[in-house]
Structure 1
Amino acid sequence: MKNRKIIYGIVSLAFAATSLPSCFVAKKYQRPEIEIQDQYRDVNTNDSSTLAAMPWEELFTDTNLTSLINEALDNNLDLLMAVERVNAAEAYYKQGKAGYLPTLAIAGSGQRVEYGDNTLSGVSNSYDGGIYHQYDLSASVTWEADIWGKIRSNKRASQATYLKSEASRRAVQSTLVATMASAYFQLVALDAQAKVTSQTVTNRKEGLETMISLKNAGRVTQAAVKQTEAQLYTTEILLIDIKENINLLENTISLLLGRNSGTIKRSSLDDQALNVELSTGFPSQLLRNRPDVILAEYNFRNAFELTNVAKSSFYPTLSMSASGGFQTLDFDNWFNSNALISNAIANLTQPIFNKRSIRTQYEVAKANQEEAKYNLKKALLSASKEVSDALYSYKTQQERYKIRQKELDALSKAVEYSEELLNNGYQNTTYIEVLTARTNALSSEISTINTKYQQLNSIVELYLSLGGGWK
């Protein structure tokens, strides 16, 4: 009867503690007020549609590229490690969700104690000649009342940590998709440069033979022959450099794929086309599209909830524990009603003086929260800058590519005209003019191919900067 009164008193105290919402000190989370511009620089739009919403399978139509991206998403080691970090954070989140539950433990023991005849216990203990056995079996339960929201805030903090890890995984995936696409476009561009350079080597070998014939005919000097020969060697060296870059880039792509270095199956540069509407939406949409910005907000949310936890430490802690079981000296009477034991305790603890540790923890938590807020603002500003940079880069590459094509056409005709004039014995045309025209034409063709790659890559960068690639 007495035990029942104790238990009823503890339950009543717990009910009263948990029914004090007016005493709840934990603040409810609100996104920090951060000023966000209405438009991106030099962009006027009233449309919320954004390129980030497009799945990467629709943006990239080259089947070889999509196959490589799929393989990378399955096997890339950085992404696999990010997934494991998510799994670890999820485990902590599940633990945080269980914070409201009581702790239950069961213990059993058996012991044999023997006292010597010359010991005080042996003399005074007549039970079985100084030998006795004791058997215990008990269960205990402990529960802490969440009066001030400490457990609830810890749960939300662990949830924010889990969501941070998920946003980090998305950021890795988004970057992986963009990196693979960029590397692929660079690889097919190098193939195009190698093809042009290889053809130029063939042409210059033929040009060297022509120059030798002209020298034998007394039309040019031996210096012209040697200059043409040197130009051939320069082009051959350029071809070696390009092939080396192709090999190194294939190794890099193989690493992204999580496999040993080897040949990468691909199409050609002429097959690449990203015919999409470059819609950007509004900067505020970066808060839900950019994984790194999302991560920064969850980092702030985690710091916010940990500040609540630190603040709740200033207030009393109410905990209750109860235990019960059987204890006996006779194994045969272990589960007899006379062997029953029970215990119930309620604790109310108010910190008074603790060498300022609680206040220090609270001030550190507040400082971490402010730092997280500034980091979120910086992430937003950086993301907006990257979008503006990518937009301007795309426009610039579009204009540059048109001019490059005109330049290449003009230089190609210059080579054609100068070689024709030299071969026909036009006196005002020298071999130096021919060599210069050839060098300029090759350089222009290489640059045109590179500009085409930069044009494709600027779309990839815009897609990444807007937050595409993980949906």
Structure 2
Amino acid sequence: MNKNNITHYGKTSLVGIFALATLYSCVPALETVQEDTAVPVQYADQPKDSLNSARIKWQDYFTDPYLDTLIDTALKNNQELNITLQELEIARNEVRARKGEYLPFIGLKGAAGVDKKARYTSRGASEATTDIRPGEEMPEPLQDYLVGAYASWEVDIWGKLHNAKKAAISRYLSTVEGKNFVVTNLIAEIANSYYELLALDNQLDIVKQNIAIQTNALKIVRIQKEAARVNELAVRKFEAEVLHTRSLQYDIRQKITETENRINFLVGRYPQHVRRDPDAFDNLIPDDIHSGLPSQLLENRPDVKQAELELAAAKLDIKVAKARFYPSLGISANIGYRAFNPKYLLNTPESLLYSLTGDLTAPLINRNAIKAAYYNANAKQIQAVYNYERTILNAYIEVANQLSKIGNLEKSYTLKSKEVDALTASIAISNILFKSARADYMEVLLTQRDALESRFELVETKMQQMNAMVNMYRALGGGWN
């Protein structure tokens, strides 16, 4: 290589380096936001607890065999869960597509055709006077046969294609966590509905017991009226109370039907009786809940892990968008045979053709679309940061709320139990006083109504206790594992 060639080569290299440096410097600067994953060391007003109920499998957390059967069936048949599983398959195929983009594309090609050029044109006239070899004229019309292979490959200099694949993998994994979140919510919704169904069964039983008590009281009032100890007004008041209580059972029956059908919908089947043991409700005692540490929410909650993976994908999207500002190198190659007659098609080297091309392209002017995609990727990444922080905050608050609710419901249930005992005893006392004319009929009616309401409230409180236990399990991130 002479001195002039060396000088020319050096200038060309300097021009190339300057061009690359210019491209680097033309990438717009972005304002980024860093996620804050710090959480309190422990839950407010709660001691540190190293144990975590979220790590208990749902089969061990829920011990009612009828409830376990419902959950197991729902995990197989629930339509929403099955839809989510197909979204998982879509995300998996997206990973496969992104992986294929940075591998060489290779294909086979075959073609056949015929071409007749007009005689009185420059190309037609030149082909008419051209012989294939001495004494053998160019055929007319001219046939064309081709067999060969072709390949193309974009060299991933800046990691654009690899980062796109990594982003697709992160979104696939976030879809997995999304499926886990659906599982967690599905289990919680079925359990809550099941305990509500047991509570309604018990309320219906209470109503039936009260109807029997009030019907008996009505008989006594009618006897006393015949004895002229009470008037017709007292009889009508007792009759109205019996009718009011009897009407309550139909409201409860309707709620039972709707709750059963809600469970059937979650299980993925048409309306039918939901098997259960209503008598087991009285023996239900909420299990002790271990909340663990707030930092464990980042590991256990599927929605938190999903938000984290979406953030990771958004960060990779920025790298992909940034790489579009830089030059891209593409390599293409072709090899095959081409001839105007099949008998010459495989003649080598006469019919052999091949090519190898390298293209280096870079955006220079009017890069608005690339800039817009870059800015959008950054905006979505910032959105993902805030969504991640919001999800963590929401998870912490949900656990804190349920911890407080469990404690308050436990105290409330104790007091309401005493209230029920007192009012139940007062029914007998009011009846005795009424028979001895030391209490009027309104006191008896009010005592019966208060006793009925207190027993209803006690059942409602126990249902809320069981729901709080279920919701705490869900808030901690249990069920999906």
Would you call these one fold, judging by a TM-score over 0.5? Answer: yes
> How big is each residue's C-alpha offset from its partner over 1:26-48, in whole Å with a ceiling of 9 and x where there is no partner?
xxxx9944221111111121x43
Q: How does 1:175-186 map to 2 (within 5 A)?
A: 175-186=185-196
Match of 1:237 among 234, 237, 247: 247
Asked if 1:324 is matched to 2:340, the reply is no
Bigger Cα displacement from structure 2, 361-370 vs 229-238: 361-370
Q: Which moved more, 1:413-422 or 1:271-280?
A: 271-280
Residue in structure 2 matched with residue 20 of structure 1 by the alignment: none
1:106 positional shift: 1.4
Summarize the alignment of residues 252-291 of structure 1 with structure 2, pairs less than 5 Å apart. Answer: 252-268=262-278, 270-271=280-281, 273=284, 276-291=287-302
Q: Which amino acid aligns with 1:312?
A: A
Deviation at 1:269, TM superposition (A): 5.2
Residue 119 of structure 1 deviates from its aligned partner by 7.5
Which amino acid in the other structure matches residue 304 of structure 1? K
Report the residue type matching 2:385 in the other structure: K
Equivalent of 2:453 in 425, 443, 461: 443
> How far apart, CA to CA, are the structure 2 residues paired with 1:458 and 1:39?
20
Contact 1:116 1:130 in 2 (8 A): no
Moved more, 36-45 or 443-452: 36-45
Paired residue for 1:39? Answer: 42
The corresponding residue for 1:416 is 428
- The C-alpha deviation readout for 1:363-412, integer Å capped at 9, x for no partner, is 22112111110110000000000000011111111111111100000001
Q: 1:275 to 1:251 in 2, by over 3 A?
A: closer
Residue matched to 1:404: 416
Amino acid at match of 2:68: T
Query: Residues 55-86 of structure 1: CA distance to partner in whole angstroms, max 9, x if unpaired?
Result: 01001010000000000000000000000000
Q: Distance in 2 between matches of 1:379 and 1:121?
A: 71
Contact 2:234 2:441 in 1 (8 A): yes
SS state at 2:111 partner: strand
Give how far 1:203 is off. Answer: 2.2
Given candidates 81, 97, 100, the residue that maps to 1:98 is: 100
SS of corresponding position for 2:329:
strand
Segments of structure 2 that go 5 or more residues without pairing to the other structure are 1-23, 28-32, 129-136
Residue ranges of structure 1 left out of the alignment (5+ in a row) = 1-22
Aligned to 1:248, which of 251, 254, 258? 258
1:375 lines up with 2:407 in the alignment: no
Equivalence for 1:85: 87
Aligned partner of 2:233 in structure 1 is 223
Counterparts of 1:100 and 1:116, CA distance in 2: 45
Question: Aligned to 2:214, which of 175, 189, 204?
Answer: 204
- 1:220-277 Cα distance to aligned partner (Å, 9 max, x none): 1110000000001110111110001001111111110111112111122535635533
Q: Which residue of 2 aligns with 1:13?
A: none
Q: Give the match's secondary structure for 1:200.
A: helix
Q: Is the 8 A contact 1:93 1:159 kept in 2?
A: yes
**Matching residue within 36, 58, 66 for 1:64:** 66
Distance (Å, rounded) in 2 between the aligned partners of 1:105 and 1:288 = 45
- The amino acid across from 2:159 in the alignment is G
CA-to-aligned-CA distance 1:125-174 (integer Å, 9 cap, x gap): 54676312111112111112222111121011001110111111111110
Deviates more, 1:334-343 or 1:261-270: 261-270
- Measure, in 1, the Cα distance between the counterparts of 2:210 and 2:462: 20
Q: CA contact under 8 A between 1:167 and 1:295: conserved in structure 2?
A: yes
CA distance in 2, matches of 1:273, 1:201: 26
CA gap of 1:114–1:316, structure 2 versus 1, over 3 A, is closer
Give the stretch that moved more between structures: 145-154 or 80-89: 145-154
Code of the aligned partner of 1:107: K
Whether the aligned pair in 1 keeps the contact of 2:302 and 2:477 (CA below 8 Å) is yes
In 2: Cα distance, 1:350 partner to 1:114 partner: 41
State the match for 1:345 in structure 2.
Answer: 357
Q: Which residue of 2 aligns with 1:139?
A: 149
* Aligned pair partner of 2:163 in 126, 139, 153: 153
Shift, 1:213, TM fit: 0.8
1:307 pairs, out of 318, 321, 345, with 318
Identify which of 406, 411, 418 aligns with 1:394.
406
> Aligned-pair RMSD on alpha carbons?
2.0
CA distance in 1, matches of 2:361, 2:354: 23
Counting aligned pairs with the same residue, the percent is 32
Give the partner amino acid of 1:324. Answer: I
Which stretch shows the higher mean deviation, 357-366 or 334-343?
A: 357-366
Following the alignment from structure 1 to structure 2, what is the Cα–Cα distance between the partners of residues 231 and 389?
39
> In structure 1, what residue type is equivalent to 2:52?
T
Following superposition, the deviation at residue 440 of structure 1 comes to 0.2
Letter of the structure 1 residue corresponding to residue 228 of structure 2: G
Task: Return closer, same or farther for 1:123/1:359 CA change in 2, 3 Å cut-off.
Answer: closer
Judged with a 3 Å threshold, the aligned counterparts in structure 2 of structure 1 residues 344 and 169 are, in CA distance, closer, same or farther, namely: same
Q: Conserved in 1, the CA contact under 8 Å of 2:35 and 2:388?
A: no
DSSP-derived class of the 1:144 partner: strand
CA distance in 2, matches of 1:48, 1:345: 63
> Deviations along 1:333-353, whole A, 9 cap, x unmatched?
222212110011111112211
- Which digits, 9 at most, give the CA deviation of each residue in 1:300-325, with x for residues without a partner? 11110001111111211112111111
SS of the residue 2:250 aligns to? helix
SS at match of 1:36: coil
**How much does 1:354 deviate?**
2.3
Q: For 1:426-465, what per-residue CA distance to the aligned partner results, in whole angstroms no more than 9, with x for missing partners? A: x331111100000000000111011110011100010000
Aligned partners of 1:117 and 1:130 also within 8 Å? no
CA contact (8 A) 1:54 1:468 kept: yes
Q: Partners of 1:354 and 1:240 in 2: how far apart?
A: 72
Higher mean C-alpha displacement, 139-148 vs 82-91? 139-148
Contact 1:121 1:130 in 2 (8 A): no
Query: 1:346 corresponds to which letter in structure 2?
Result: G
Q: TM (normalized to structure 1)?
A: 0.90
Counterpart residue identity of residue 230, structure 2: V
**1:429 match: secondary structure:** coil
Contact 2:144/2:338, CA 8 A, preserved across alignment: yes
Q: Match for residue 298 of structure 1? A: 309
User: What amino acid maps onto 2:438 in structure 1?
Assistant: N
Give the partner amino acid of 1:254. N
